Amino acid sequence: MNYDFLSPTQIVFGWGRRSELGKLAAKLGSRVFLVSGSRTLERIGVIEQVAAGLDQCGVKSERFAAASREPEVADVDLLVTEFLKRELTERDVVVAIGGGSTIDLAKAAAAVVRNRQGSSVADFLEGVGRGMQITQPPLNVIAVPTTSGTGTEVTKNAVISSYQPAFKKSLRSDLMIPRIVLVDPELTVSLPCETTAYTGMDAITQLIESYISRRAAPIPQALALSGLKLAIPALPAVVRDGSSRENREAMSQAALLSGLALANSGLGLAHGVAAALGSHCRVPHGLACAVMLPTALRVNMSVRERELAEMERLFDNSHSNDMESAKAFVSRIDGVCRDVGIPPRLREIGVTIDQLPALVSGSRGNSLSGNPRDVSDQELLEILQQMW
Ligand SMILES: [Zn+2]
């Protein structure tokens, strides 16, 4: 067996530890581009507090607002243009505070601004770009997630959307893993319950898909099991009561583990289709993953019965064989989806029946290539028709 395992240089985890951001930034540079996406954190003064903390450590900061949507090509290009108006040096640090969208935007801009052979981030995107590569190290990035979901704070890619033409593709390079990740679960307490549910289901989908991926490897698999053990009980509880410190910490931990796992194992069918649901039907990423997850598990059951059974045994050891355990695990996931308010049908999330063929072609990408078994276009169309 051969494998590589990549992760950020430093992971700082803990309730309230955003107070250490100034010290961490001062290790990497003297000026910070603070990219923030959360209006709520802005309103309750957290961003102000963070900027003051940087100031106290002798780090100048400039603020850039991220739009509250999944980043589009034009958003990245605009931020790159803004960065380029400053005289950039090695001592500039990008601090991204927000959900996965904000962190992806910041990671992409930090990379493109240092790799100017392309005119737009679109030139670098997998499958649709001009095949340009990130060869120069990006500006140093410190990622501070404010949701417990995407895990993008520890991954080597940034997902960028386009609607005309419709695609959702990655900018990817080993160089793009943020240098420092600061996970302060207290930042997630103000999340509305719908966002908590969607982002949490994204983390669960990432943990499971990386565990059964055809590129699965021992370290990410160990991380995925630890994450699932935390997330499966914590998510329904935290959707009911968002103020629970214990459950918020569990979800932040699980999301972090899901990012480390997916960055080193890849994903599968649910994420493949979720990309198409995002670009063709504008379904939020976490919701799209959640709707697809139970079906993706049933589709892969025949080739991953043992792994699904292993995941079930984290919670219940009483089934008589792998087949029973694997089925029980899928029912368990159905139950979590129901508990946190995920509708089971595509038509309930705004998909029209005539969009299904476009969803099939839009699903072919890096995620689907990790799915444990091949799924033909015809089979995928039938799967989506049944789910509609
Ligand atoms: Zn995801």
Task: State both tokens at 351.
Answer: 């998909």
The predicted model scores a pTM of 0.95
Cα(256) to centroid(ligand 1), Å = 12
Q: Check residue 343 and give its pLDDT.
A: 97
Output the pLDDT for position 37. Answer: 85
Nearest Cα neighbor of 204 from 15, 337, 387, 368 is 337
SS3 57: coil
Please confirm whether the linkage preceding 192 is cis (ω < 30° from 0).
Answer: no
What is the structure's pLDDT at 168? 87
What is the Å distance from ligand 1's center to 29 Cα?
A: 31
Give the containing element (helix H, strand E) for 143.
strand 140-145
For residue 167, the model assigns a pLDDT of: 87
Ligand 1 centroid from CA 286, angstroms: 6
pLDDT band at 40 (very low <50, low <70, confident <90, very high): confident
- pLDDT of 29 over the 80 cut: yes
Question: Using CA atoms, how far apart are residues 329 and 305, in angstroms rounded to an integer?
Answer: 10
Cα(271) to ligand 1 centroid in Å equals 6
Ligand 1 centroid to residue 198 C-alpha, Å: 10
pLDDT at 287 over 90: yes
Dist CA 198 CA 20 (whole Å) = 29
Question: 365 alpha carbon to ligand 1 midpoint, in Å?
Answer: 14
Ligand 1 centre and the CA of 189: distance in Å? Answer: 21
Q: What is the pLDDT of residue 239?
A: 97
Q: What is the pLDDT of residues 225-237, one digit of tens each?
A: 999 999 999 999 9
Integer angstrom CA distances of residue 45 from 49, 50, 51, 93, 100 = 6, 9, 10, 22, 21
CB of 157 within 8 A of CB of 171? Answer: yes
Ligand 1 mean position, distance from CA 321 (Å)? 31
- Integer Cα distance of 225 and 232 in angstroms: 11
pLDDT tens digits, one per residue of 59-112 = 999 999 888 888 999 999 999 999 999 999 999 999 999 999 999 999 999 999
pLDDT digits (tens, 9 = 90+) for 291-308: 999 999 999 999 999 999
Distance 201 CA to ligand 1 centre (A): 9
Least confident of 98-107, 125-134, 237-246, 365-374: 125-134
Sign of CA dihedral 127, 130, 135, 139: negative
264 phi/psi in degrees, rounded to 5: -115, 0
Q: What mean pLDDT do residues 313-326 have?
A: 97
| Mean pLDDT, rounded, of the chain | 95
Cα of 293 to ligand 1 centre, how many Å? 11
In angstroms, what is the span from residue 58 Cα to ligand 1's centroid? 36
Strand, helix or coil for residue 340: coil
Q: Give the span between the Cα atoms of 258 and 285, in whole angstroms.
A: 15
pLDDT tens digits along 135-165:
999 999 999 999 999 999 999 999 999 888 8
Closest CA to 16 of 242, 197, 248: 248
Tokens of 66: 């991220």
Residues by chain with Cβ below 5 Å of ion ligand 1: 202
Q: How many angstroms separate the CA atoms of 137 and 152, rounded?
A: 18
Tell me the CA–centroid distance for residue 7 and ligand 1, in Å.
17
- 59 alpha carbon to ligand 1 midpoint, in Å? 33
Distance from first CA to last CA of the chain, Å, rounded? Answer: 40
Q: What pLDDT is stored for residue 163 in this prediction?
A: 87
**Could you give the CA distance from residue 106 to residue 37 in angstroms, rounded to a whole number?**
10
Mean pLDDT along residues 272-285: 94
**What's the pLDDT band for 384 if we cut at 50, 70, 90?**
very high
One-letter amino acid at 221 equals: Q
Least confident of 43-47, 153-157, 253-257: 43-47
Residue 259 pLDDT grade (very low, low, confident, very high; cuts 50, 70, 90): very high
The structural domains of the chain, ordered by start, are 10-188 (3.40.50.1970), 193-387 (1.20.1090.10)
Distance 153 CA to ligand 1 centre (A): 12
| CA 385 – ligand 1 centroid, Å | 23
What is the rounded CA–CA span in Å between residue 180 and residue 18? 12
Whether 257 shows a pLDDT value over 90: the answer reads yes
Region 347-371: mean pLDDT is 94
Task: Compute CA distances 355 → 97, 297, 352, 379, whole Å.
Answer: 35, 23, 6, 16
Q: Say how many Å lie between the CA of residue 213 and the centre of ligand 1.
A: 14
Gap from CA of 263 to ligand 1 centroid (Å): 11
Query: For residue 83, how far is its CA from the centre of ligand 1 (angstroms)?
Result: 28
* Residue 345 alpha carbon to ligand 1 centre in Å: 19
Cα 14 to averaged position of ligand 1 atoms, centre (Å): 23
**In sequence order, which residues have a C-beta less than 8 Å from that of residue 269 and are 6 or more positions away?**
209, 292, 295, 296, 299, 300, 367, 368, 371, 375
